Structure 1
């Protein structure tokens, strides 16, 4: 049932439902039965404060009577130093209405304040610093705990309620509820005590921050959703412990300066227990079958606030406003979470009225304030606030899943927007240079969006549109196979455009069959291809890649002889190529240099290609050629691969290696490696020089190397190598090594192992240099030995 369409019939149904609870009068019935109470509520403004009616107001049995003092034997006595005056309110016994606020110093209370005596003691455990807030039953102070030297918050039962058994019982129960909840999003309770005057109080973590209601309007929807999910985690945990909060609202959530979000004020919490205790607590009568009436339907037994009906009217679920305690279950908290979500989205609480009584009426009838907000989140909020609990989310987990689904859908939509900007950029400067990349990235983003949210219709529509445009572009580029695949992926494989591409594909296949012996030259292959008549060297065909590589137009190349084109940079290399081809009938990977159009083999100048790009005039190439028969005439089929970049990289590497050798010599630094699997040692040129070993002798193997180490240093070297091989430990050590002349040289070596994925050492490498004079001998983990 939609909460925005709650009818008079719905209100009557819930009134009847509340009266079915044996002995439970409706909250509205109670209010209207007491003219003074009704008038008082009609005069109260709607200020989002908690409304609580206790047992005497509702004429209910107090299930907690006699329990308060019986449980207080476990409560320790603590001395408290009070500075200044404290508020000690007295209840208005005519209406017994409490406006409870956990920590808001501006909260409205139906109490009067009288000064209390000032108590001072040098050995007091707690020293009160200032008042943080007050409610109808308790006052919250900032305090300093002497033993642990920390700032805490203290909630103290009002002095005029100190002798009231039911008030003490509810206060104790609230403390024990908080103490039983060990969750990062629930305020931690430190201590439950009674002071030297018999007043109950408990200390809890003090949050350096403010309540959520003071920030909710200034935060973004995403920030508020993150906080709401943390609150939901705390409530989900409470439900797993059999607890229902009943008063969830932003005011009861504390936000710390460092990102904390903590649920507070558990004074109205109730516990789900067995049906027998529920029946005893509610005073249910036996039914016709001898069992307690409704015992199997509403397994609730109230704790602390067992006879307290209440909540915050601006957020209340209908069953709360109707006072139907036995109808309250975990779905009531789901309703309250939905109310907070509604406030996040609309900026207003779910229920309103000109006064507090009208607000309670709105909650009882589940009249939700109208809003123009649309979307998944508002739908989730309204479902959570459904009039019938059976129409709500069945658990907090379902409610959380709905919010997370929305976030997933948002991410999916974000990917769709990125894809649209990629495929159809509005800024000319952001148009990619490669249209293929433009379409492929857009298509990939849309596939990712659908992977997150398969039902995203916008993503599906945009994917089809992207694939169709990509298909048309590919067809224009002659990429017919890709074009056909895209048409089929978009579900347009039988469209007129796809049929044209299919006919072009068939025509191309026929051409390929007729030119089977050399067709590979003239496809979209990236390698350049030439077909040359063997008898005179005339060029018969050149593919687009070849024309692009050499910088010629087709009519400038086809029909001309190779000798007249001056393509070969070195005539001697051309003679060697022809000789090898004549002898073997084929040549593979023949390396030479070609000259681009407009360049000279004598001067390696840059030339401008058709696209405006400057490239070297002389390039390194690999030629592979075969003699084939085409149309009864012998032809030379050649492919040309530009390897200029590779050769340049090789030349740069060779130059770098040469510089490295020079730098090593200048720095007196050698390098070495050891392969434990192959048992081989490799030295750099400088390492040979430092060790005084003739490079013609080659590197020593491990055993020979160890034999060259001074006997006094050998064990340290062996130990360092074994630790590197077996434990992957790096090392640094000084040792003396015998050179070819029989003299010992003092050397410093640093070694580092290389491990495979299984943690085994597959190589040890390091550096070598002349050892500095050093007589220290560190621990074996970092061996340093100097020569004597």
Structure 2
């Protein structure tokens, strides 16, 4: 039988539960009735009001979908807290019939199953004074329904009305809740009124009063506040309480996030922890009995089944009639001891079970007990048969399910020892979830690093410089997230394993970047000091140290050289050394250049010239006097405008240089030794001379003088337009070459002109003389010329230039 499957209850519980289930099953009509009712989340209540030995009182088996049936005897309760099975059978038989008398035969409606005592005879509409005399102080208050028709309002009768009922908010098996206006304080409240058919039922009145006084005695922010407990003109019991602008938790639970639902559950648990400190057991915790206000309020309601532990000890015998005790709960959430009907087996652990059942509902999406009918759900609760959880739950949700299952252990001794311990378990899970969130963030960051490409590719031009620059920063951020996750939850294996794999990936990146010491530290942190990868890095580091030692001997002379120079590792382009002259030339500190890759240094004024230099160096292995321009550190790069034809930039802060480079081998590695010579002064002089020449030519043209020039290296002669006019040579023929020019001179004048030109080229002297030149018509013209040499930076003549004019204009 079902009762034999429940453990952990008092010795009488098996008999009681067995009697309840067996009695239902032997009554075919009641079994059929309950089997046709779908499982729901409504409260099941079994009244255990004691009566004098041999006495009896009226009772009723009620569900909100069933009408109230009077004049049924209440089953007797033994001194061990058990219901007499024979009396219970008679009670169920009288009230559970389905012949339609006093019963709503619609099985689709669900609600409370109630066994209580009462008398609803017509003479009992106004309860006797004796009934209310033992109920304690109950101040009278006038209550009236607010009429929508002003013509029907009785102003005289409404003058003393304290509560005006506005409308119905809800109803249950024992009471109706109205929205009302309290005139004295001018506020909206909720009023719960005992059903009129139960007005003379001492047991119902007692439970109603007990519920109100329990709520009123609980001063906690998560317990709905009770304002007033009163009696109206007809003796009807009611109490007013805070009206919550919101809805019950069950109406919102599926729309809220797991985190928000856990926050609500923890506030409910805090209210129950407070109730336990006051010696009270709620017994009917479920989302339907939790109100959520529009402004964040979380209020535990429906304390109608709350029990004081002081009256539930086995030494207290059977609870007195004044206690108005009942066994009840909601089958979908019910603890086994509640389903068993074990009054003395109810402890604080019962509420712990119910909190665990709510946690199960939050995570799984459905209550722990279920059945195709209400009867099947009751059996599942009695046997503590818990529904299987969905397979798609993640690790976080499964951890919460484990907490819920511990709280819902069949044996109360196997549950959490207190609500505080349950709260700590949930809070511990939340810290685990916070740790896991950090791990998930870290993994997303790792994925972003992976999008940068392989470590050896991060400095390639195809990878954005912004992403290349912060690779180390991204690894550091991932490391910080994972260490924080481990600090929150030291046993988080996901965080520990991810940190280890991150350190190994970071070590590989550091190795590719040449940060071998950092890579070895990371291998050590990951516990991979003796790994093959770490051994390779150590060998690479040792080889590098030997290279550095050999480089040190060489760089001593290199560093103090008066010429600017750099020592660059050919394999990766890292600057190993830059001497003082080079640093002063470019305006950088040593740490800004040494250890950096050449591709990351913005010292080239024209990127095209840099590409040409690299291509020529790679092709020939050396390069001499490569002319280009470098940028001083203070130069604003955005102002540069490189001439595509000359590759020259003409702004202040640009340095004209000649680069000579050679590949050398040091310590088994190929190095690039580059010397840089500043030729800015020479280039400035050349530009100034060219400017002067242009000015002179402009002046000569304005003065009507024919100008000419003779370039020594190219043997090219240039004439101005005026020179063609003076000599009588057609412009379309172009300037003559040197031999053509000499051939056009009168034979008697050739030698003296050649001597003057030769002397100017070899000795750098100027000259002036007269000579005769044959024009296109074959006639000789008398001309006068002056010649001046042009020198380079080494005082070598590279050009002769001068003027031509008619001899008469040129003087003697």
Query: TM over 0.5: same fold?
Result: yes
Structure 2 match to 1:407: 430
* Cα separation, 2, equivalents of 1:418 and 1:349: 33
Matches within 5 A, 1:748-767: none
Matches within 5 A, 1:45-444: 45-55=38-48, 57-60=74-77, 69=132, 72-83=135-146, 120-273=157-310, 278-282=314-318, 304-306=323-325, 308-373=326-391, 374=393, 375-425=398-448, 431=467, 433-444=469-480
* Cα separation, 2, equivalents of 1:356 and 1:569: 89
Instruction: Answer whether contact 1:331 1:392 (CA < 8 A) is retained.
Output: yes
Structure 2 match to 1:652: none
Structure 2 match to 1:598: 629
Unaligned runs of 5+ in 1: 1-6, 86-116, 284-300, 522-528, 571-593, 621-788
Matches within 5 A, 1:538-553: 538=563
* Cα separation, 2, equivalents of 1:349 and 1:123: 48
Instruction: Answer whether contact 1:472 1:483 (CA < 8 A) is retained.
Output: yes
Closer/same/farther in 2, CA of residues 543 and 271 from structure 1, 3 Å limit: farther
Closer/same/farther in 2, CA of residues 9 and 468 from structure 1, 3 Å limit: farther
Q: Which moved more, 1:470-479 or 1:400-409?
A: 400-409
Instruction: Answer whether contact 1:138 1:156 (CA < 8 A) is retained.
Output: yes
- Superposed displacement of residue 224, structure 1: 2.0
Closer/same/farther in 2, CA of residues 539 and 196 from structure 1, 3 Å limit: same
* Cα separation, 1, equivalents of 2:219 and 2:651: 72
Closer/same/farther in 2, CA of residues 447 and 302 from structure 1, 3 Å limit: farther
- Superposed displacement of residue 207, structure 1: 0.7
- Superposed displacement of residue 514, structure 1: 7.1
Closer/same/farther in 2, CA of residues 439 and 396 from structure 1, 3 Å limit: same
Structure 2 match to 1:532: 560
Closer/same/farther in 2, CA of residues 543 and 18 from structure 1, 3 Å limit: farther
Instruction: Answer whether contact 2:635 2:654 (CA < 8 A) is retained.
Output: no
Q: CA RMSD in A?
A: 4.4
Closer/same/farther in 2, CA of residues 569 and 16 from structure 1, 3 Å limit: closer
Structure 2 match to 1:755: none
Closer/same/farther in 2, CA of residues 504 and 177 from structure 1, 3 Å limit: same
* Match status 1:500 vs 2:536: yes
- Superposed displacement of residue 600, structure 1: 7.8
* Cα separation, 1, equivalents of 2:584 and 2:383: 93
- Superposed displacement of residue 383, structure 1: 2.1
Closer/same/farther in 2, CA of residues 354 and 601 from structure 1, 3 Å limit: closer
Deviations 1:446-465 (A, max 9, x none): 11121122222222121111
- Superposed displacement of residue 380, structure 1: 1.9
Deviations 1:6-25 (A, max 9, x none): x969615468744479x998
* Cα separation, 1, equivalents of 2:220 and 2:442: 42
* Cα separation, 1, equivalents of 2:633 and 2:269: 79
Instruction: Answer whether contact 1:269 1:303 (CA < 8 A) is retained.
Output: no
Closer/same/farther in 2, CA of residues 423 and 164 from structure 1, 3 Å limit: closer
* Match status 1:480 vs 2:516: yes
Unaligned runs of 5+ in 2: 50-73, 82-115, 118-128, 149-153, 453-463, 588-602, 606-627, 642-648, 656-812
* Cα separation, 2, equivalents of 1:601 and 1:25: 97
* Match status 1:11 vs 2:5: yes
- Superposed displacement of residue 498, structure 1: 1.1
Deviations 1:402-424 (A, max 9, x none): 32233222222222222222223
Closer/same/farther in 2, CA of residues 228 and 281 from structure 1, 3 Å limit: same
* Cα separation, 1, equivalents of 2:185 and 2:304: 27
* Cα separation, 2, equivalents of 1:497 and 1:363: 59
Instruction: Answer whether contact 1:212 1:253 (CA < 8 A) is retained.
Output: yes
Deviations 1:617-672 (A, max 9, x none): 7499xxxxxxxxxxxxxxxxxxxxxxxxxxxxxxxxxxxxxxxxxxxxxxxxxxxx
TM-score of the aligned structures, taking structure 1 as reference length: 0.58
Instruction: Answer whether contact 2:356 2:407 (CA < 8 A) is retained.
Output: yes
Closer/same/farther in 2, CA of residues 121 and 249 from structure 1, 3 Å limit: same
* Cα separation, 2, equivalents of 1:356 and 1:421: 48
Q: 3-state SS of the aligned residue for 1:437?
A: helix
* Cα separation, 1, equivalents of 2:163 and 2:290: 25
* Cα separation, 2, equivalents of 1:234 and 1:247: 14
* Cα separation, 2, equivalents of 1:433 and 1:540: 26
Closer/same/farther in 2, CA of residues 118 and 364 from structure 1, 3 Å limit: farther
* Cα separation, 2, equivalents of 1:554 and 1:260: 68
- Superposed displacement of residue 196, structure 1: 1.7
Deviations 1:176-216 (A, max 9, x none): 10011111111100011111221111100011111112222
* Cα separation, 1, equivalents of 2:239 and 2:650: 82
Q: 3-state SS of the aligned residue for 1:183?
A: coil
Closer/same/farther in 2, CA of residues 599 and 41 from structure 1, 3 Å limit: closer
Q: 3-state SS of the aligned residue for 1:258?
A: coil
- Superposed displacement of residue 254, structure 1: 1.0
496, 521, 526: which one aligns with 1:490: 526
Matches within 5 A, 1:345-744: 345-373=363-391, 374=393, 375-425=398-448, 431=467, 433-509=469-545, 531-533=559-561, 537-538=562-563, 568=585, 598-599=629-630, 606=637, 618=653
Closer/same/farther in 2, CA of residues 500 and 133 from structure 1, 3 Å limit: same
Instruction: Answer whether contact 2:10 2:345 (CA < 8 A) is retained.
Output: no
Closer/same/farther in 2, CA of residues 517 and 566 from structure 1, 3 Å limit: closer
Closer/same/farther in 2, CA of residues 336 and 605 from structure 1, 3 Å limit: closer
Instruction: Answer whether contact 1:48 1:314 (CA < 8 A) is retained.
Output: yes
* Cα separation, 1, equivalents of 2:8 and 2:584: 96
Instruction: Answer whether contact 1:18 1:327 (CA < 8 A) is retained.
Output: no
Q: Which moved more, 1:117-126 or 1:442-451?
A: 117-126
Deviations 1:24-65 (A, max 9, x none): 985435545766654543443323211112126452279999
- Superposed displacement of residue 511, structure 1: 5.9
Closer/same/farther in 2, CA of residues 237 and 516 from structure 1, 3 Å limit: farther
Q: Which moved more, 1:248-257 or 1:398-407?
A: 398-407
Instruction: Answer whether contact 2:177 2:191 (CA < 8 A) is retained.
Output: yes
Closer/same/farther in 2, CA of residues 448 and 305 from structure 1, 3 Å limit: farther
Instruction: Answer whether contact 2:223 2:301 (CA < 8 A) is retained.
Output: yes
Q: 3-state SS of the aligned residue for 2:413?
A: helix
Closer/same/farther in 2, CA of residues 9 and 238 from structure 1, 3 Å limit: closer
Instruction: Answer whether contact 1:335 1:385 (CA < 8 A) is retained.
Output: yes
